[in-house]
Every structure is written in structure tokens, then in C-alpha cells.
Amino acid sequence: MKGRTDTPWWVRYLVFLMAMGLAGVILLVPLANVLFRAFSGGLGAYFGALADPDTVHAVFLTLFVAVVSVVFNTVFGVAAAWAIGKYSFRGKALLVTLIDLPFSVSPVISGLIFVLLFGAPSALGRWLDGHNVQILFATPGIVVATLFVTFPFVAREVLPIMEATGTDQEEAALTLGASPWQTFRHVTLPTVKWGVIYGVLLCTARAIGEFGAVAVVSGKIAGKTDTMSLRVEKLYQEYQGRAAFAVATLFLGLAVVTLVLKSAVEWRVKRALREAAPSTGSGQAPSEAA
């Protein structure tokens, strides 16, 4: 370890070991426990637990909800970031606050909001009931709750890049004869590409892992409205610890994939932000080979 401080080497190592030890206790030991418990009955039992029809249904429901949320939030997030980053309009600050709102509301409360909104006691709930539309305790409710919770991810990642890039390149494209769509497609989108990918990654991970909001609206009907995370909880409550941990390994795999992709994308986002600032080329040539 190298440093510019006068801290003695043994202090630095001690602090380092403490941090690593803490991470080990609260991260690695539980993870090892998950794997150990999942495979405690052997591979056959492990795959048997995963092949359970209700579990398979939960996996596909979770993937469906994640895809819908990611697609919607990507379209919305890029559009919102574009409007906020490139234009000034009345209500801009309000829109930014609204985008951040899901971050500051507890997921369980978010779920509860939808229960109150779509539930039988409300006028909307009665109207929906009268028209035979089922939102709560069905897939639409899960989608809506997940959408709400994952709302900010793409917009929040794309907005800083949009703002830092300014409007120079877009103005140039317009004077060069590009239509607004061509400008967006060929100029704006490529500059925020890595921000979008990063946002999609975070959004996907959260959509798959969401528990609180979904737990409130889903009704937890096995084989119908159980998502993966709800399934883990239910199996565990039913004393099927091994099956619960088997499903949990799927989350573990997802976490590893997310972590790897996240660190790969993160530095590209940083580079995009660095390059976004209008260059004021002062005339120095990095490689003047004419």
C-alpha cells in the first residue's frame, strides 16, 4: 500500500484488515451460507427445487415484469433527461423532483399507495371492478409497482451527460440540415449511450430484486402472482429452506453478473461525462502527423 500520509504501515494494514474482515462477515459468510444450504441436498435436490412449477412461473413472471419496466423506464428516462438537459421550461425543477420521488418513498409505502388507489374502497377501484379490470393482486399491479420503484434509474444516469454535453452538437446538426429525429438519433443518443446502458443495468437489477412494493400489491398467489423474491420468502416461511436458498442462488448469479457489467460500464460513463464538456481546443496537437 502506498500513500502520502505519515500513518505508520501497521496502522494502515490494521484498518485495511478491519474493513476486509467486516466485509467478510457481513457479505461473504452469508453468501457462502446461501450456497451451502442450497446445495446441501445435492445437485438433484437443487435442480428439483428449481423445477417446481410455481418456482418456474415466478421466474418467468419476474422476467416479464422486468422487461416491461425496463423498456418503459428507458423510453421515459431518456425522453425526460433529454427535455430537462437540453431545454429550459416552466416546471423543470418540479419534473426533476418527481423523477427522484420513488427514491425517497419506502417501497412498502409505494405498494400501499397503489393498493389505496386501485383497491375496492376507492372510486377508481370500484369503477375498475365494474368493468372487470383486475389490477391489484394480478400482473398489472406488479408491473405498476415495479415501474414506480424503478422510475428514476435511467433518467438519473442519462441526465448528467445530457446536461454536460450542452446543445452545441445538436445546433450544429440542425444547421447541417438534420431533422429533429435525425439529430436525436445520430447525435444525442450516441453521446448518452453508456449512460443509458448503465441505467438499464441498474433498472433491471432493481426490477428483478424488488420485494417491498411488489409484496403489498401482488397478493402472493402461488403460480399466479408470486415473483422470485416473493417465492423465496414464501418457501422459507413454509420451512422449505433448501428450496428457498436454491432460488436465492439465482439472485446471487444475477448479482455477480450485474457487478461485473456495472464496473465494466461505469468507466465508460465517466469517460462520456469527461468528453461531454465542450472542448476548448487550445491548439496543442496530440499527434500531428500530416
Partner 1 sequence: MSIEVRNVTKKFGSYVAVNDVSVTIPSGQLVALLGPSGSGKTTLLRVIAGLEQQDGGAVWMNGVDVTEQPARVRNVGFVFQHYALFKHMSVAENIGFPLRVRKRRPAEIDSEVRQLLHLVRLEGFDKRYPSQLSGGQRQRVALARALAAKPNVLLLDEPFGSLDAKVRMELRQWLRRLHDEISVTSVFVTHDQEEALEVADRIVVMNQGRVEQEGTPQEIFEHPKTKFVMSFLGAVNIFHGRVQKGRAIFGGHEEEFEDHPHEEAKPAQGYVRPHELDIDRTPRAERSYPATVRHVNVAGPTVKVELLLRDQQTVVQAYLGRERYQELKLQPGEAVYVVPRQLRIFVQDEDDEDSP
How near is the Cβ of 173 to partner 1 at its closest, in Å? 7
Nearer CB in complex with partner 1: 117/273: 273
How near is the Cβ of 86 to partner 1 at its closest, in Å? 14
The cell for 271 is 469517460
**What is the distance between the alpha carbons of residues 50 and 148, in angstroms, rounded to a whole number?**
29
- HSE-up of 71 (CA within 13 Å, CB side)? 7
- HSE-up of 219 (CA within 13 Å, CB side)? 17
Q: Residues 149, 210: contact at Cβ < 8 Å?
A: yes
Residue that the C-alpha cell 448503465 belongs to: 198
Nearer CB in complex with partner 1: 78/250: 78
Nearer CB in complex with partner 1: 6/288: 288
Nearer CB in complex with partner 1: 132/287: 287
How near is the Cβ of 270 to partner 1 at its closest, in Å? 15
How near is the Cβ of 194 to partner 1 at its closest, in Å? 11
Nearer CB in complex with partner 1: 190/241: 190
Nearer CB in complex with partner 1: 97/182: 182
Nearer CB in complex with partner 1: 40/182: 182
- DSSP 3-state assignment of 132? coil
**What is the distance between the alpha carbons of residues 286 and 290, in angstroms, rounded to a whole number?**
12
Q: Where are the alpha helices (DSSP H) in the chain?
A: 9-23, 29-38, 42-51, 53-86, 92-104, 107-118, 123-130, 139-150, 152-165, 168-175, 180-183, 189-209, 212-218, 228-237, 241-276
How near is the Cβ of 176 to partner 1 at its closest, in Å? 4
How near is the Cβ of 175 to partner 1 at its closest, in Å? 4
Whole-number CA gyration radius for the chain: 24
The cell for 41 is 441436498
How near is the Cβ of 41 to partner 1 at its closest, in Å? 52
List residues binding partner 1 (CB under 8 A): 168-169, 171-179, 182, 186-187, 190-191, 275, 278-288, 290
